[in-house]
């Protein structure tokens, strides 16, 4: 149980992981390219792809990176966010 899904299958292979690790230590104290706030130790950071996925923007807050990725999808999914109230 609790077997982790392969990160390679999700499009984040070994090269990405190695690059992320190398950049992570250097990223703390720098400003997030998405929200312009400093990236602090203890915060979750992602290696942020450019929008066309041809390269990397550098490190960004994981929350900022994922919000940017979700923004496009939200346009189509907004209806599904309504909660079902059976009570
Ligand atoms: Zn940020």
Cα–ligand 1 centroid distance for 1 (angstroms): 34
3-state SS, one letter per residue, for 30-80: CECCCCCCECCCCCCEEEEECCCCCCEEEEEEHHHHHHHHHHHHHHHHHHH
Cα–ligand 1 centroid distance for 9 (angstroms): 26
For the whole model, what pTM was predicted? Answer: 0.59
Domain coordinates in residue numbering, the chain: 14-69
Residues near ion ligand 1 (Cβ under 5 Å): 32, 34-35, 61, 64
The 10s digit of each residue's pLDDT in 19-77 is 888 888 889 999 998 999 999 999 999 988 887 878 888 899 999 988 877 776 676 56
The 10s digit of each residue's pLDDT in 62-74 is 999 888 777 766 7
Count CA atoms closer than 13 A to 48's CA, side-chain side.
22
């Amino acid at each position: 149980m609790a077997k982790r899904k392969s990160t390679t299958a999700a499009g984040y292979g070994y090269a990405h992981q190695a690059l992320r690790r190398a950049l992570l230590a250097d990223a703390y104290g720098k400003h997030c390219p998405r929200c312009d706030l400093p990236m602090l130790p203890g915060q979750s950071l992602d290696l942020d792809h450019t929008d066309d996925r041809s390269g990397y923007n550098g490190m960004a807050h994981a929350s900022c990176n994922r919000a940017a990725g979700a923004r496009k999808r939200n346009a189509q999914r907004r209806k599904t966010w309504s909660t079902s109230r059976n009570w």
